[in-house]
Chain A
Amino acid sequence: MSFIGDEQFEGGNKEKRHREKRRDGSKDRRKRANAKRRERSRADRENEEFEERLVKREKGRRGRVKNDQEAKKREQEEGAGAQVKSGKTAKVKKNIKNEKRRMSEKAGEAGERTEKGKKRVESAKKETATVKHGTRDKTREERKKKRKKVFETSSEHKTSEQDSEDKENSEDKEVKPESLSPDELEKLKEAVDEKKKLIQSLRGKPWPMKKKLVTLRESQQFLEKYEGALGKGKGRKLYAYKVMMTKKWMKFQRDFENFKTACIPWEMKIKEIESHFGSSVASYFIFLRWMYGINMILFGLTFGLVMVPEALMGRPYGSIPRKTVPRAEEASAMDFAVLWDFGGYAQYSVLFYGFYSNQRAIGWLKFRMPLSYFLVGVGTVAYSYMVVIRTMARNANESGVGDDNSFNFSWKMFTSWDYLIGNPETADNKFASITTCFKEAILEEQESRKDDNIHLTRFLRVLANFLVLCCLAGSGYLIYFVVRRSQKFALDGFENHTWWERNEVNMVMSLLGMFCPMLFDVISTLENYHPRVALQWQLGRIFALFLGNLYTFIIALMDEINVKREEEKIVKFNITMWEASLYNGTVSENFTASPITIHPADVPRGPCWETMVGQEFVRLIISDTMTTYITLLIGDFLRAVLVRFLNHCWCWDLEAGFPSYSEFDVSGNVLGLIFNQGMIWMGAFYAPCLPALNVLRLHVSMYLQCWAVMCCNVPQERVFKASGSNNFYMAMLLVILFLSTLPAIYTIVTIPPSFDCGPFSGKNRMFDVIRETLESDFPAWFSKVFSYASNPGLVLPFILLMVLAIYYLQSTSKSYKEANVELKKKLQMQNEENKKKNKKAAQKALMDLEEARKVALESAGHQRNNNASFQGQEARDREMEQATRVPRPSNHMSHRTPGYLPNFPLQSEAMIRRAPSLQRH
């Protein structure tokens, strides 16, 4: 929630003012509504005693509206149906009568009213009794009638006490389950379910609100009325209870949904950007937010299960050598320069691997620290895999069959406008880009037949790729060279070197990451690709560059690890010598001395390669973050300021000419983010503070970049749409995740941990902690089972089985795809055939219609006085018209269904029938 607070603050006074206003407004509104209600109720209480009546009256009013509409509809239908059932017509007439009666009611003739009401209820009862048996259609009708009766009766409520008693009797009869046969009950249940479905699907219907409101109220009323009648005997109360609970649950869910959307941080910020720059720039920020969420969870895991327990329950600082700054470094351990490099006190803290002790259980909780450390390391990676893959799968589901290219033009036409654009400048750019897009598409279509000078373009493309490869190799070598050089410096000791020499590696990596993409951009102009293809190439190359740099860095780091391990061996040997000498010395001096106390800072210790790796990664992240922010400030902000203010006194137009304002580079930023995350995954095992740092970084860059994009960037000239590339980013993230866990796993599995630092010290391998736990914390049989299970004889078949399962799933998915294509073809064929058939049928029907008209005219001429036959004729005409329309199912929506217009009430019967079919979609 704190994010929202921040965001509101950032959003400025305007937003706040609006909100306040809104709050005030709603208060006022509420007050006024209450006052009104009070007034109304006071007036009502003169006639009625119970509050609930009021509600029922409202319903009655609504019901009346509905009845009104139905009556109209019936009137129309009456013209159409020659063989309208007598009951139906009677009812229509009755309805009209009711309407009239109600009008007079309003005038206030109380005495008459009650009598009539009674009569009507009785007649209605009779009616239901007569129609109660019959076919399905009839029961449906009957159901409707019943409903209507309910409306009538409920509207009756307000009239008088007597009347309400009367009504209650009738209601009891209706609701009593004993009075309904099981068959009817079943049907009633069906109707109730249908209504429920209708309510649920209502929001997905393209109807005007008025119609939706009416339908909703009507069906809710129906539900209220009949849901109680469904349960049988003892189950009835339970049923009612269940219904009530589902209602409550729905409401809760809705509120929870509202709450959830209110909790999404930076929503308004992103929407603002979205409306200014279109969805592509916003997609970067959404991606950033998603990353932030993941890092929050990683941070929570490492912070809650590793750092805090060690800090609270582990041995305090200075108790053992690994938790103490060595004597030699003590003097400079608090210097800012040292701390900034994560040396000194920072190095000997919970931030790094080396600080953790190898006690099996710490504190009064007996918290298994080494085990927790290991499991958190594995868990963060596993969680990341899970999230990335799940998101990918969801995206793939959403985009559906996005790869088929058969609707290229239509998509350009129908879906190219980004409705979110609210900035005139962006809109202009969008117009231009759509136009060029159309022109390009047309040209492509023409060019696909002829291609000129293919040799030149081929040559240029090969040349470009060669140049890019040279760049990649050069940058890789440069990094390797720099890392090796820095190792030499490290052996000499950092103090003798300048700042540049100390930070060479990180600076070189950041600078390469900054300038190589520009170089690639220049090279890619040689290739003359379509912009989208060019963008993909560009992305691929930057990806390769980053990856190459990262891996060179890792290889160099591996070298360094080996060096450190050599060093460690020597130190280990020295320590045994040192201990022996110490022991011997004390023995010779004083035999009865208690165990010698040496200050932990004086104990010689090994180099602890794990902490070194962690430090390297932390430094890399810090320098990367700094470079990003500084380029943002210089490249975007300073440039924008210069262009803006120097424009008055410059020889050419700076804003339109050369430097101009910068665009927001979505792909570059996304790649930067992805690689940053890769480094986090790689280093998090050796430096538990990395996720925390990353959360901080992402948080800052969210605000900084939002600000930068709004204040100093111009909308892109080519406004790309984002969603298509969404899974592309995810795929890259997955690749990076895999590639970054590889080295981490390699080091964990193959290299023995340092002997005197970290939670796994003293063990042969880091994963031995699992075995140890199994042996000492679990019963014997468990470890036995585990050892059997981890036997290669079992593991290998299992892997084989998995491979087989994958193969099977893949082949089935392939066959599904093929079936899909087949079905598509079939569908198209059928469509065409249907169309032909329909055309024939339509023509035939048209001819029939003409004939019928002739006949009708003739008959009209012959027997003018016989109205009935004429009506029958017209009814037949109508049927024919319907027949011509019915077999065109594809058109049933595009015909401007009469429901659009407020004058035409909807047909509720048709609605009920249509509800399940809509559900299926």
Chain B
Amino acid sequence: MGTTASQLDKGMLSEYQELTFLTKQEILLAYKRFSELLPKEETNGISYRIPMNAILELPELKTNPFNERICKVFSTSDSHDGSLNFDDFLDLLSAFSDSATLEIKSHYAFRIFDFDDDGTLGRQDLEKLVNCLTGGTGDTSLTPDEMKQLIDNILEESDIDKDGTVNLSEFQHVISRSPDFVSSFKIVL
């Protein structure tokens, strides 16, 4: 891009408002939080990539079982290391904001759940998803039998075309009926 301004000038701000579901205050807050994560010597704020580990230290993401996936999905880094620059960060917040549409939320939810990035939710993805949701360790996790039963049930419900995986449109179909997806798929700074 032409402008590599390290500050959020007015033009950028209004463009960001146009392109995200965030309000001005939220963008400014996001910028503040983002620049807190920047190393001190770094002056070129917006285009600097913050490594994933630093992002995960944010309390809003720390306890989230999908935090690494979220970083990876929103990262535009070439090396796929989950590092985020400010644009990516805003994208993340916009998708998780209050006013984002169901469509965009479900799209990103699908990509977050798609652990192997192959465009569909296969059995492995679902298994990983269950493990994430149940904390994954110790006595809380499900037995293999239960896991199999659970995944069978899920596929039976939502795999409309019976190809053994859940694709995006099937996923969106399921999600759009859910009464509380939109209200819980939120991250607020």
Interface of A with B (CB < 8 Å)? Answer: 18, 21-22, 25-26, 29-30, 32-33, 36, 58, 61-62, 65, 199, 202-206, 208-210, 212-214, 216-217, 251, 254-255, 257-258, 261-262, 271, 274-275, 279, 398-402, 404, 406-411, 413-424, 426-428, 431-432, 434-435, 438-439, 441-442, 445, 721-724, 828, 831-832, 835, 890-891, 893-896, 902-903, 921
Closest residue on chain A to residue B146 by CB atoms: A442
Which residues from B are CB-within-8-Å of A893? 107, 168-169
In the assembled complex, 9 residue pairs joining A and B whose CB atoms fall closer than 8 Å, in A order, are A25-B35, A29-B8, A65-B1, A254-B14, A262-B23, A402-B179, A408-B157, A415-B175, A832-B161
Shortest distance from the beta carbon of A282 to any chain B beta carbon, whole Å: 10
Check B25–A209 contact: CB distance below 8 A. no
Check A442–B150 contact: CB distance below 8 A. yes
Which residues from A are CB-within-8-Å of B109? 414
Going nearest first, the 8 A-B pairs with the smallest beta carbon separation are A209-B87, A29-B7, A431-B135, A402-B179, A894-B168, A427-B63, A890-B169, A723-B183
Closest residue on chain B to residue A425 by CB atoms: B63
Which positions 48-75 of chain B face chain A at CB distance < 8 Å? 59-60, 62-66
Q: Mark B145-172, 1 if CB is under 8 A from A, else 0.
A: 0100110011001101111000111110
Shortest distance from the beta carbon of B98 to any chain A beta carbon, whole Å: 9
Given contacts A213-B19, A434-B134, contact A400 B140 (CB under 8 A): no
Known: A420-B188, A424-B62. 17 other contacts (CB 8 A): A203-B19, A205-B104, A214-B1, A413-B126, A415-B184, A417-B64, A417-B184, A419-B64, A419-B96, A420-B186, A423-B63, A428-B135, A438-B142, A438-B146, A723-B182, A891-B169, A903-B78
Which residues from B are CB-within-8-Å of A835? 161-163
Which residues from A are CB-within-8-Å of B3? 58
Check B167–A894 contact: CB distance below 8 A. yes
User: Which applies to chain B's interface (DSSP): helix, strand, loop or mixed?
Assistant: helix
Which positions 107-157 of chain B face chain A at CB distance < 8 Å? 107-110, 113, 117, 119-120, 126, 129-130, 133-135, 140-142, 146, 149-150, 153-154, 157
Given contacts A204-B101, A204-B103, A261-B23, contact A18 B32 (CB under 8 A): yes
Q: How far is the CA of A832 from the CA of B159 in the complex (A)?
A: 11
Partner of A896, one of B94, B117, B161, B186: B117
Check A22–B28 contact: CB distance below 8 A. yes
Q: How far is the CA of A684 from the CA of B23 in the complex (A)?
A: 39
Which residues from B are CB-within-8-Å of A423? 63
Check B19–A262 contact: CB distance below 8 A. no
Check A896–B7 contact: CB distance below 8 A. no
Which residues from A are CB-within-8-Å of B25? 258, 261-262
Shortest distance from the beta carbon of A394 to any chain B beta carbon, whole Å: 14
Given contacts A30-B7, A204-B101, A209-B87, contact A65 B167 (CB under 8 A): no
Check A902–B174 contact: CB distance below 8 A. no
Interface size class of B (residues with CB under 8 A): 35 or more
Partner of B177, one of A62, A210, A400: A400
Which residues from B are CB-within-8-Å of A416? 133
Closest residue on chain B to residue A413 by CB atoms: B154
Which residues from A are CB-within-8-Å of B94? 203
Check B171–A414 contact: CB distance below 8 A. yes
Given contacts A434-B134, A902-B76, contact A29 B88 (CB under 8 A): no
Closest residue on chain B to residue A207 by CB atoms: B91
Q: How far is the CA of A271 from the CA of B187 in the complex (A)?
A: 10
Partner of A828, one of B18, B23, B87, B160: B160
Shortest distance from the beta carbon of B77 to any chain A beta carbon, whole Å: 9
Shortest distance from the beta carbon of B171 to any chain A beta carbon, whole Å: 7
Q: How far is the CA of A804 from the CA of B69 in the complex (A)?
A: 56
Whether B180 sits at the interface, judged by CB under 8 Å, is yes
Which residues from A are CB-within-8-Å of B160? 828, 831-832
Which residues from B are CB-within-8-Å of A251? 14
Q: How far is the CA of A406 from the CA of B109 in the complex (A)?
A: 20
Check B60–A410 contact: CB distance below 8 A. no
Partner of A203, one of B7, B20, B96: B20
Q: How far is the CA of A417 from the CA of B66 in the complex (A)?
A: 10
Which residues from B are CB-within-8-Å of A418? 184
Q: How far is the CA of A424 from the CA of B59 in the complex (A)?
A: 9
Check A409–B76 contact: CB distance below 8 A. no
Whether B176 sits at the interface, judged by CB under 8 Å, is yes
Which residues from A are CB-within-8-Å of B170? 890
Check B107–A409 contact: CB distance below 8 A. no
Shortest distance from the beta carbon of A471 to any chain B beta carbon, whole Å: 33
Given contacts A422-B63, A832-B160, A894-B110, contact A411 B168 (CB under 8 A): no
Check A415–B167 contact: CB distance below 8 A. no
Partner of A419, one of B21, B175, B184: B184
Which positions 1-50 of chain B face chain A at CB distance < 8 Å? 1-3, 5, 7-9, 14-15, 17-21, 23-25, 28-29, 32, 35
Which residues from B are CB-within-8-Å of A432? 135, 140
Check A424–B63 contact: CB distance below 8 A. yes
Which residues from B are CB-within-8-Å of A271? 188
Given contacts A399-B179, A402-B177, A411-B174, contact A419 B140 (CB under 8 A): no
Shortest distance from the beta carbon of A449 to any chain B beta carbon, whole Å: 13
Check A895–B23 contact: CB distance below 8 A. no
Which residues from B are CB-within-8-Å of A414? 109, 113, 171, 174-175, 178, 181
Q: How far is the CA of A421 from the CA of B64 in the complex (A)?
A: 7
Q: How far is the CA of A325 from the CA of B65 in the complex (A)?
A: 68
Check B184–A890 contact: CB distance below 8 A. no
Q: How far is the CA of A894 from the CA of B172 in the complex (A)?
A: 11
Which residues from A are CB-within-8-Å of B107? 206, 893
Given contacts A61-B2, A427-B63, contact A203 B21 (CB under 8 A): yes
Shortest distance from the beta carbon of B115 to any chain A beta carbon, whole Å: 14
Given contacts A258-B25, A896-B117, contact A202 B2 (CB under 8 A): no
Which residues from B are CB-within-8-Å of A723? 179-180, 182-184
Check A431–B23 contact: CB distance below 8 A. no
Shortest distance from the beta carbon of A710 to any chain B beta carbon, whole Å: 15
Q: How far is the CA of A232 from the CA of B168 in the complex (A)?
A: 47
Interface centre among A25, A212, A721, A895 (most CB of B within 10 A): A212
Which residues from B are CB-within-8-Å of A62? 1-2
Q: How far is the CA of A455 from the CA of B159 in the complex (A)?
A: 39
Shortest distance from the beta carbon of A675 to any chain B beta carbon, whole Å: 26
Q: How far is the CA of A540 from the CA of B25 in the complex (A)?
A: 42
Check A407–B32 contact: CB distance below 8 A. no
Partner of A435, one of B15, B29, B101, B140: B140
Which residues from A are CB-within-8-Å of B64? 417, 419, 421, 427
